[in-house]
Structure formats: structure tokens, C-alpha cells
Amino acid sequence: MINLPVKTWHLGDPHQSLVLASFDNRLPEAVYWGPALPTGESHKTLSAASLMDVTGGMVDENAAISLCPEASQTFPGQTGLTVRSRDGNPLAPAFRYESEAASEHGLTLVFADKALDLTLVLDLTLTPETSLLKLQTRLESADIVQVDWLAAPVLPVPAHTGEMIEFSGRWCAEFLTRRLPFAPGARLRDNRSGRTDHAHFPGLIVCTPGTSNTQGEAFAFHYGWSGGHRMVAEELADGRRQVQFGHAGGSQAAGRHFVTAPLYATYSAGGFNGAAIRFQRHVRDAIVQDMRTPRPVHYNCWEAVYFDHKLDELKAIATHAAGLGAERFVLDDGWFGLRDDDTSSLGDWIIDGRKYPDGLTPLIDHVKALGLEFGLWFEPEMINEDSNLYRAHPDWVLGPSDQTRGRQQLVLDMAREDVRTHLHDQIAAILRDNDIGYIKWDHNRVLPLVDAAQTEGVYQLIDRLRADFPQVEIESCASGGGRIDFGILERTQRVWLSDSNDALERQRIQHDAALFLPAAVTGSHVGPRRCHTSGRTLDIRIRAWTAAQRHMGFEMDPSELTEEETDVLREVTSWWKSNRDWMMRADILRLDSSDPAVIAEQQLAENGDRFAVFAALIRASDQILPHPVRLTGLDPASLYKVSLANRDQAPRLSRGSPFLKTEDLEVSGQYLMSHGLTLPWRFPDTIWVLEGQRL
């Protein structure tokens, strides 16, 4: 065998192996990433086996797709680092091995360019419980340098994958997925919005053309950062492929220390679900801190009253909501300053004495007497020109004064300590003087510029408030799902997935968000009968069951509910409460529906003994007979008892006798996964809910 000076490292578990090799003390490269390798496999041999040929029309050596591909190696694609000296000259470091340290589940590898006095530190861990790689790059410089681009550790993806799924979206349509072929050149996303944003969820799934929810290979990535990211998915001219993630280009000021956010990555041999459940579990068990259980049923008053707060009306709403089963009441926008619409008062976090002459206490006391927790809305990073804060501190605004406004508001410069201290003190005073267990933390516009210091400032403010008020949970909202990522989830306990309470739209958004998010953190509310953002009128059943698939809540004016709607909502809420203990810890498995009009998912309990299936018909099917719904993740040899939880909802046009319409079924996991469940015919915009139990 060729005798190469090579160092190797291995991160592995029963699901995946990542083998790194450093040739000649250069930066390490992933010479293998895929299914778990057998013990005893020689990593040195694998390293040698990974060497590729050289032929005509090429330079004489293949530059590695190292964890930070280097310009100094004549790398034929996007490099992992673009750095300039203090006076603007491009630097092309050639890093060499310095040292390493092993932790329980990971490695820290240190490489240096002595001539340039630059050090590159690669922090790599594989969390055993969730099989998720967490990868982070640090750059230390003796001199001040300008970093235009620093990628988190770069991984290659194999040539046979061929496709990628990336995420776009908009207000009320978050987590849109798009499946694209890999093609020569780079697919570049550089999110300039300064926040995670509806249009740029920082995720990517590389897969084979045949990969589905339940089978095939997937290499999945998420960049845990709330300040805008850059992604590069590149097919080099020579055919190799690499994936890079980092902060949005040029968003870091000149300095001596730079660090990327963590890049989370995993290999799945079990389709998209294989990766999704690792992200879901990791968010729930390793990222989110201090999540209170059981998850309380929410009531949020935004779509009931908007800015028109009247104490008596809010008390009546709270009483009504409690009767439906709510356990947490969230007072939304409109309680502070002189905020009668969205043109004023952001920045003045003082209770509006016109609306609340005796403060919030009378409302809070009423809510608490009903047995509910009280939550309050803030949008701390924002300021209106019509506010006392702006009149006192016009210089606290981020960006130029002639910038375009967003929802008539400007953004505070969160990198300033005086701004953070002021916000901390105002919010802390409200939390101290009132019995508040929950904050809905909103963020309703893109930033005027991209600046990592803004995001770091927000993180600092939240961290300080969390340290002072550890019992207060926080929800991350940004006009719906504009700030959802693992960075914000390290400091919050719930996300407001979308401002669309339209159950059909929500079905799609929830389904795609489940590629990364567990039910326990994903807020989902039963909105008004006629949806305020889509104008669509939907039956209470689909609205209630859709919310019951995630962390459930209500958001309509409850006085609009008919007696029948009230009964249905109460019933579904009580179903949710009696199932939440296992469902909020279940894996959400997306089912491969052969009928594109059906969005179906299966929530499988941690021990695999029970499941719930939700199969929503979001438009009329092309064919008249319902396709059987095939399940997944069950033990083929076990028997399961399956019942149709809402069989009373079969319409009169369902004239036949499918078994589940009247009786429970006892069948094997094999049957459920191979043939699937034959369901009664139903109207569009309806949902079947099935419950299963291993016998």
C-alpha cells in the first residue's frame, strides 16, 4: 500500500460514520461519510483508497474538499475562507496540523498558518442519542483581519445523490421545499435579510432521485443561526460536490476572532424521516432548554381583538377560552405605549394606562383565577418613530435614517450595550411587577443591513432575561415563521410557525417544517372560521385536528363559535390533552402518500407501542376511491389495533362499508406498512385521524 503520511479520525455510531484524513498535515477532508462502517475497517486504507486520479487538462494534484477548502491549494471551486489583511490584501493561508484534543463524543482539531499567524480550529461532535453531527469552525488571527466568508466545516456529498431539497417561502407560506438537480456550478443562497427569514430557512437535504420520506439516502444539513446565512451547494467541474454553510457573506466586522454557528448534519439511510427524527429529537432534547411539560393549550387574542383591547372583553374571552380547554392566555400586540395601530409605540414597553388604568393586574388576576398562565407579547428589537424612545434616542436606530421602513418601523441597534440594557430593564420591570410566565417575542421586519453583531446582541439580551427569569418561556415569532432556527431555539421554547391559521395551508407548512421541528415546539392554533390571511372558510374539524398535530392553541374570538363548533373544539382539545404526554415526545413520520391530494403523517411513540395518523385531504382527489394510507416505522411482526378516531365524520356520500368506518382493525405492522389502511370516502378539506396500539 502507498505509504502516506496521513492522520485519520473517526466519528461514528450505529447509524453513520464520518472518516476524516489529513494528508501531509494539511487540513482534514471527509474521505467517507455514509452508513456505519464495520469495526476494524482501516481508516488509513480508506484514506488511501479515496485518492483520485489526475489526467490531462488538470493541475497535477487534486485539491481536497477539506473541511475548509483552500485557495492556496488551487481549489477549483468556492473556498471555505475568504480573508483579507487589515489593509485589504487577500490572504491565502495554507493551514498545517498543530494539535488535537478529543472530548467524549467529539474532536477539536487545530491547524495553523504560522507565516500569516492564523489559526483554524475545527470543533466536531456526534451526539450519540440523536446521531447528529455538530460542526463549527473558528478562526483566530494575531492581527486584525477582515473575513468575507468563513464556512462551518465543509462536507462533500457523493456523486450518486444527484438531487437537493432546499427551502424557500414567504409570509404565510413558510418552509416551501423545492427539489433541484445538482448541476455543474454552485447553487448559492445568501440571505441578506439579517434574520433567518420566511424565505430562507437554513436547511438543505441532499438525496438520490429515489429518496422518499420512508426510504433512500439523505444527507441533511441545518445551520443554527438567526442572522442570515450563506449556503453553497456546488458541483465542481471535476464532478465532486461540496456543501458549505456560514453566516451571510460580509456580515462580520473586522477583528481577530471569528466563529461560525454550528452546522448540524446527518446521514440517513431511512429516507427523509431518518434525518427528520434526528433533528426533531435533537431540538427537543438537546437544543431547547427548560421546556415545561405538559405543554399547555394556548389561547392567543391577536385575531380576536387586534389592537382594540378592552379589559372586560378580554376577561370574557379568557373565560370562554378556559372553558374550551385553554391553559395559557397570551395578550398580544396593543397593550403598551399608545399603540392603537401599527404606526406607533414600539420601544415604549410601558402599560397603556388608557386601556389598562390599573395595569395588567386585573386581567392577569382574572386569567390566573381561571387556572391559566399569563403570557405577554413584545417586539423588543423594534422602534417606531412615533414613540418616546425614538424621541429620546433617534441615534439608537440601526442603519441610515433614509432607509425604507418595514411595517412603519425601524430596528434598534442591538450591538449597543446601552440599547440592550434599556430593553432589559423595561422588559424585566414588566416581568417583575406582573405574574407572567410566557413571552411571545416578535420581529416584524427584515433588517436594513446584514450584521452578525445584531444577532449576537439579540442572543445576549434573551440570554440575560432568561437568566433573570428562568421560569418564563419564550416563543420565537417573526411575522409567523421568520425566525426559526436552532440558534434561536437554544433560547426559546416554541416557534410561531406561520401567521396563516388556514388549516389547509398549515397542513403543508407543518408537514415540511417537520423535516426539522418536533411537535412540542411547533405552535399551531385553531383560527377564525373564515381565515384572516387566506379568506378561506373551513370546518372546525379540520381546523381543530390540524392544531392538535402540534403544540395546540386557539386564536379566534371564541364568541363566534356555534354550539356544534364548541363541542368539536372541546372534544379535540381534550383528546389532545389525554395524548400530549406521548405525542409531544413522538417522532413525526411523514408518510409517502400515493395520492398527492393527501398530506399524511404518523406520530409514533418513543417506545413504538402506539401511534396516531393524520391524513388530510387538502383538495379533491383525481380518482374516486381513496388510496390506502401506508404506515411506516412499525414492527412488521407485531399486531396492531387500529381505530378511526373520528369515524362519526364519514359523510352520507360514503355509502359503502369500509371496515374502519364501523370497527377497529387488528392487523400486522407488515400489512399496515405494505398494503396500508383503506379509509372511507370523504369530502375535500377534511381529515381522518387514526389511533393505533401494539397488541
Q: Which residues sit at the interface with ligand DGJ, rule CB under 6 A?
A: 302, 332-333, 377, 442, 444, 477, 479-480, 496, 499
442 is catalytic: yes
Of 75, 29, 73, nearest to 51 by C-alpha is 29
Q: Which is nearer to ligand DGJ, 271 or 480 (CB)?
A: 480
Of 247, 20, 253, 61, nearest to 155 by C-alpha is 20
State the nearest-atom distance from the C-beta of 543 to ligand DGJ, in Å: 17
State the nearest-atom distance from the C-beta of 28 to ligand DGJ, in Å: 43
451 is catalytic: no
State the nearest-atom distance from the C-beta of 120 to ligand DGJ, in Å: 40
Q: Which is nearer to ligand DGJ, 234 or 332 (CB)?
A: 332
State the nearest-atom distance from the C-beta of 478 to ligand DGJ, in Å: 7
State the nearest-atom distance from the C-beta of 130 to ligand DGJ, in Å: 30
Q: Which is nearer to ligand DGJ, 496 or 575 (CB)?
A: 496
State the nearest-atom distance from the C-beta of 323 to ligand DGJ, in Å: 23
State the nearest-atom distance from the C-beta of 443 to ligand DGJ, in Å: 9
Q: Which is nearer to ligand DGJ, 333 or 587 (CB)?
A: 333
Cα-Cα-Cα-Cα torsion 536, 592, 156, 286, nearest 10 degrees, comes to 70
Cell digits of residue 657: 362499508
How far is Cα 522 from Cα 323, in angstroms, rounded to an integer? 23
521 contacts: CB under 8 Å, gap ≥ 6: 283, 284, 288, 291, 489, 493, 494, 495, 551
Q: Count other C-beta atoms under 10 Å from residue 470's C-beta.
A: 10
Task: Return the SS3 of 461.
Answer: helix
How far is Cα 179 from Cα 165, in angstroms, rounded to an integer? 4
- Of the residues 123, 499, 512, 587, only one is catalytic, namely 499
Work out whether strand 203-207 and strand 185-190 pair parallel, antiparallel, or are unpaired.
unpaired
Q: Count other C-beta atoms under 10 Å from residue 603's C-beta.
A: 22
Helix (H) or strand (E) holding 542: helix 540-547
Q: Count other C-beta atoms under 10 Å from residue 265's C-beta.
A: 26
Buried b / exposed e across 364-376, counting CB within 10 Å, b at 16+?
bebbbebebbbbb
Are 500 and 525 spatial neighbours (Cβ–Cβ below 8 Å)? no
Q: Which long-range contacts (CB under 8 A, 24 or more apart) does 248-253 make?
A: 248/190, 248/191, 248/192, 248/194, 248/450, 248/452, 249/148, 249/149, 249/190, 250/148, 250/149, 250/450, 251/227, 251/450, 251/451, 251/452, 252/147, 252/150, 252/452, 253/451, 253/452, 253/453
Q: Which is nearer to ligand DGJ, 341 or 581 (CB)?
A: 341
CA distances from 469 to 88, 434, 459, 464 (A): 45, 12, 15, 9
Of 411, 421, 344, 420, nearest to 384 by C-alpha is 344
Helix (H) or strand (E) holding 7: strand 6-12
Q: Which is nearer to ligand DGJ, 258 or 496 (CB)?
A: 496
Of 7, 6, 29, 34, nearest to 18 by C-alpha is 34
- Of the residues 113, 442, 485, 587, only one is catalytic, namely 442
State the nearest-atom distance from the C-beta of 570 to ligand DGJ, in Å: 24
State the nearest-atom distance from the C-beta of 356 to ligand DGJ, in Å: 17
- Active site amino acids: 442, 499
